């Protein structure tokens, strides 16, 4: 058996305990680790997608605001929790220039909710159908009543839309003509601390693109035959960071910077069903992407302690470094256009780093039982 010396090899292992035969270059393992860390940070922190060209633009002729695929505006919606009842009717009156969608994705034009609301009120478009519904059941698997209309023949034209909501009956009008109604109501807009998002979903994943020339929200008192204009958003004038509300409320809509969506929060939790159905590739990438980091951290830490057969240190170090790097990336992503911070990303990154560390341990155990591995003397 080879005599053990106090010197270490290029990877920090005691001389004679090396698993792999590396080229004779100083600090090779540390260089490889630094390179992997830099690549991992770049992959996690670089902006994703082009948002500036797909945001908001004011069209002077005719006067309206054009929404790109990612564009949105958002603000405070009136608190109707103590108002909405059988004596009141809520009216959404707006003018849009719809476009044709053939991708099969649902596009959200209006979204009213409160933070973390599982059942928002949504007006959107699926292919050439305008849809008014409650919640995120885009495929209507629950079979709830909703207002729908085919607007294919209005694509590229100004379309006047009016949605009348009442506890007993809901109605949808296109260019002044009643096209559908249903009763009773399945909508709930009596929300405290409510917000309104126009042009997209708050997380930026269901962008509706087209033109909007007018958008009013009116509360009609059926008993006294009086109406109150709650919101009157001015989409037919140039905007400077906001869409002005011409009603007495003066609750303007804010135009965020491109790629800055209202629901960009750190370490968001995602519904398990949607996570599995819509994010398969993302799940695999987050796991495999941190495997090299754990691998090289484990190599650097391998047998840096005098304890023989120390399998804990490389694996624990891989988990710790992988967790710290992933946590830093996820927290930073709330400030980066096109990136979203999710808790499942952090978990998968840590698991991937742990897998890289475990892989080194498995290789080490294999070589310990082979003639190619030379253990240090005691």
Residues 6+ apart with CB under 8 A from 70: 49, 51, 54, 55, 200, 204, 207, 258, 259
Domain boundaries, the chain: 28-47+269-368, 52-254
pLDDT in tens, 140-176: 988 989 999 999 999 999 999 999 999 999 999 999 9
pLDDT in tens, 199-242: 999 988 899 999 999 999 999 999 988 999 999 999 998 888 99
pLDDT in tens, 36-50: 999 999 999 988 777
Task: Judge whether residue 377 has pLDDT over 50.
Answer: no
Question: Taking residues 316-340, what's their average pLDDT?
Answer: 91
Of the ranges 207-211, 263-267, 337-341, which is most confident? Answer: 207-211
pLDDT recorded at residue 5 = 46
Question: Taking residues 345-371, what's their average pLDDT?
Answer: 85
The C-alpha angle with vertex 293 and arms to 287 and 299, in degrees rounded to 5, equals 130
pLDDT in tens, 118-131: 899 999 999 999 99
pLDDT recorded at residue 378 = 44
**What pTM does this model have?**
0.74
Better pLDDT: 307 or 52: 52
pLDDT in tens, 85-111: 789 999 999 999 999 887 778 999 999
- Please state, in angstroms and rounded to a whole number, the distance separating the CA atoms of residues 45 and 179: 48
Question: Taking residues 242-269, what's their average pLDDT?
Answer: 91
Reported as type and span, the H/E element at residue 287 is helix 280-288
In this structure, the chain runs to a length of 378
Reported as type and span, the H/E element at residue 178 is strand 177-182
pLDDT in tens, 171-192: 999 999 999 999 988 888 877 8
Could you tell me which of 124, 85, 76 has the C-alpha nearest to residue 219?
85
Sign of the CA dihedral running 57, 63, 64, 66: negative
| Percentages of the chain per state (helix, strand, coil), in multiples of 5 | 25, 25, 45
Could you tell me which of 15, 211, 205, 191 has the C-alpha nearest to residue 99?
211
CATH architecture, domain 52-254? Sandwich (2.60)
Phi, psi for 256 (deg, rounded to 5): -75, 170
Question: Taking residues 314-340, what's their average pLDDT?
Answer: 91
Of the given ranges (10-19, 127-136, 267-276), which has the lowest mean pLDDT? 10-19
- Please state, in angstroms and rounded to a whole number, the distance separating the CA atoms of residues 73 and 51: 14
Could you tell me which of 88, 76, 89, 174 has the C-alpha nearest to residue 123?
174
Could you tell me which of 196, 222, 199 has the C-alpha nearest to residue 212?
199
């Amino acid at each position: 058996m080879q005599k053990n010396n106090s010197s270490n090899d290029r990877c920090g292992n005691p001389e004679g305990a090396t698993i792999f035969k590396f080229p004779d270059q100083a600090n090779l393992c540390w260089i490889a680790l630094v390179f992997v860390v830099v690549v991992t940070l770049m992959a996690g922190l670089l902006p994703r997608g082009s948002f500036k060209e797909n945001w908001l633009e004011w069209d002077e002729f005719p006067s309206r605001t054009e929404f790109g695929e990612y564009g949105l505006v958002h603000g405070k919606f009136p608190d109707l929790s103590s108002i909405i009842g059988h004596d009141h009717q809520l009216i959404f009156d707006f003018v849009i220039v719809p476009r044709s969608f053939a991708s099969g994705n649902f596009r959200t034009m209006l979204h009213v909710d409160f933070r973390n609301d599982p059942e928002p009120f949504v007006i959107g478009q699926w292919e050439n159908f305008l849809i008014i519904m409650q919640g995120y059941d885009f495929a209507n698997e629950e079979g709830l009543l909703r207002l729908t209309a085919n607007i294919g023949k209005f694509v590229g034209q100004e379309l006047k839309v009016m949605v009348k909501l009442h506890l007993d009956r809901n109605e949808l009008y296109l260019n002044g003509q009643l096209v559908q109604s249903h009763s009773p109501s399945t909508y709930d807009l009596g929300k405290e601390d409510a917000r309104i998002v126009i042009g997209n979903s708050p997380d930026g994943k269901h962008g509706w693109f087209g033109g909007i020339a007018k958008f009013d929200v009116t509360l009609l008192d059926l008993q006294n035959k009086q109406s109150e204009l709650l919101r009157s958003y001015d989409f037919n004038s140039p905007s400077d960071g906001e869409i002005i509300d011409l009603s007495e409320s003066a609750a303007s809509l804010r135009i965020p910077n491109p790629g800055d969506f209202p629901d960009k929060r750190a370490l968001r939790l995602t519904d398990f069903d949607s996570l599995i159905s819509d994010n398969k590739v993302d799940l695999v990438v987050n796991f495999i992407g941190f495997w090299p980091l754990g691998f090289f951290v484990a190599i650097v830490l391998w047998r840096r302690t005098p304890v023989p057969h120390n399998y804990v240190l490389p694996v624990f170090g891989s988990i710790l470094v992988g967790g710290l790097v992933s946590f830093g990336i996820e927290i930073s992503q709330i400030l980066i256009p096109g990136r979203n911070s999710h808790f499942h990303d952090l978990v998968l990154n840590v698991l991937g780093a742990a897998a890289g560390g475990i892989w080194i341990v498995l290789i080490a155990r294999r070589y310990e039982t082979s003639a190619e591995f030379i253990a240090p003397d005691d």
